């Protein structure tokens, strides 16, 4: 089945460590996105990529980095510079070449906690 | 900039009750409007969408009508079930295409027997 796979489902990080969250899609979508969700809040955009080898900062990019070397993959690295990384992270993808707006499809998320 | 405002939750209803979750937006032109649903521990799933004024999106008994005059996209369901318990997010993408979603803060719905 086509979809978006995020791994791992749960991730623990020690202070000062970088961690990388995986996101893979087999929907043949051009665009991919990373969001952060905190309790009682909506989703906030961290980074997005409209095409391979290109990405842009979202609203809260500080302390995060991404790469887009393949169309199917958009890994997110949470660096030690991110002072409050505990959150639920969601990856999404969508078509970009379309008539009218197409919805984003979401993975099941990764919950990151600091030890 | 664009913004979405949703009614605060949690909303608690008895099974078979009528549901309304209010959503209003601020955006120029004619954005596309979406409702997403998030079940516990999962990602978001698209529930319904509307891409132009007066369009009605519908799915699984849920409906929402794009009202340009009141900049609203309220979610309704005539008879809720316990399985509808989830968090519901209203969202928009801007006029003229592009896929950057602006989300509301979400409304938690609890349906009890």
Interface test with A, best of B100, B102, B105, B106 (most A CBs within 10 A): B100
The answer to whether the CB atoms of B32 and A101 lie below 8 A apart is yes
Whether B48 and B56 have beta carbons less than 8 Å apart is answered as: no
Nearest CA in chain A to B4: A42
pLDDT in tens, B62-111: 999 999 999 999 999 999 999 999 999 999 988 766 678 889 999 999 99
Q: What mean pLDDT is predicted for residues A85-96? A: 92
Per DSSP, the residues of B9-35 read S-EEEETT--EEE-EEEE-SS--EEEE
Measured from the Cβ of residue B53, the count of other Cβ atoms closer than 10 Å reads: 12
Interface test with B, best of A4, A42, A90, A99 (most B CBs within 10 A): A42
C-alpha of A16 from chain center: 20
pLDDT at A15 over 90: no
The answer to whether the CB atoms of B89 and A42 lie below 8 A apart is yes
Q: What mean pLDDT is predicted for residues A21-44? A: 92
Whether B25 and B34 have beta carbons less than 8 Å apart is answered as: no
Q: Distance (Å, rounded) from C-alpha A114 to C-alpha A68?
A: 26
pLDDT at A29 over 60: yes
The answer to whether the CB atoms of A104 and B49 lie below 8 A apart is no
Measured from the Cβ of residue A111, the count of other Cβ atoms closer than 10 Å reads: 15
Q: Distance (Å) from the C-alpha of residue A45 to the closest C-alpha of chain B?
A: 8
Cβ-nearest to A42 among B43, B46, B106: B106
- Interface check for B57 against chain A (CB to CB < 8 A): the answer is no
Selected residue with higher pLDDT from B55 and B41: B55
The total number of residues shown for chain B amounts to: 113
| Residues of A whose CB is below 8 A from B103 | 42-43
Q: Distance (Å, rounded) from C-alpha A105 to C-alpha B4?
A: 20
Q: Are strands B107-112 and A105-106 parallel, antiparallel or unpaired?
A: unpaired
pLDDT at B28 over 70: yes
Contacts of B53 (CB under 8 A, 6+ apart): B30, B66, B67, B68
pLDDT in tens, A42-65: 899 999 998 999 999 999 999 999
| Residues of A whose CB is below 8 A from B5 | none
pLDDT at A98 over 70: no
Q: Distance (Å, rounded) from C-alpha B36 to C-alpha B74?
A: 13
| pLDDT given for residue A97 in this prediction | 57
Report chain A's mean pLDDT, rounded to a whole number: 90
| Residues of B whose CB is below 8 A from A41 | 105-106
């Amino acid at each position: 089945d086509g979809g978006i796979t995020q791994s791992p489902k749960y991730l623990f990080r020690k202070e000062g460590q970088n961690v990388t969250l995986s996101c893979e899609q087999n929907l043949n979508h051009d665009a991919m996105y990373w969001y952060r969700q905190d309790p009682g809040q909506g989703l906030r955009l961290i980074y997005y990529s409209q095409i391979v080898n290109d990405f842009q900062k979202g609203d809260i990019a500080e302390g995060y980095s991404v790469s887009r070397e393949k169309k199917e993959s958009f890994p997110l690295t949470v660096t030690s510079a991110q002072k409050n990384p505990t959150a639920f992270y969601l990856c999404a993808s969508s078509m970009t070449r379309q008539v009218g707006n197409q919805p984003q499809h979401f993975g099941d998320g990764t919950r990151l906690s600091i030890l | 900039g664009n913004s979405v405002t949703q009614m605060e939750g949690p909303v608690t209803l008895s099974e078979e009750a009528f549901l309304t979750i209010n959503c209003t937006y601020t955006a120029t032109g004619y954005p596309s409007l979406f409702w997403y649903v998030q079940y516990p521990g999962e990602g978001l799933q698209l529930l319904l969408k509307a891409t132009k004024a007066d369009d009605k999106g519908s799915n699984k008994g849920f409906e929402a009508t794009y009202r340009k005059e009141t900049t609203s996209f309220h979610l309704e369901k005539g008879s809720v079930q316990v399985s509808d318990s989830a968090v519901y997010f209203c969202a928009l993408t801007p006029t003229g295409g592009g896929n950057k979603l602006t989300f509301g803060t979400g409304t938690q719905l609890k349906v009890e027997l």
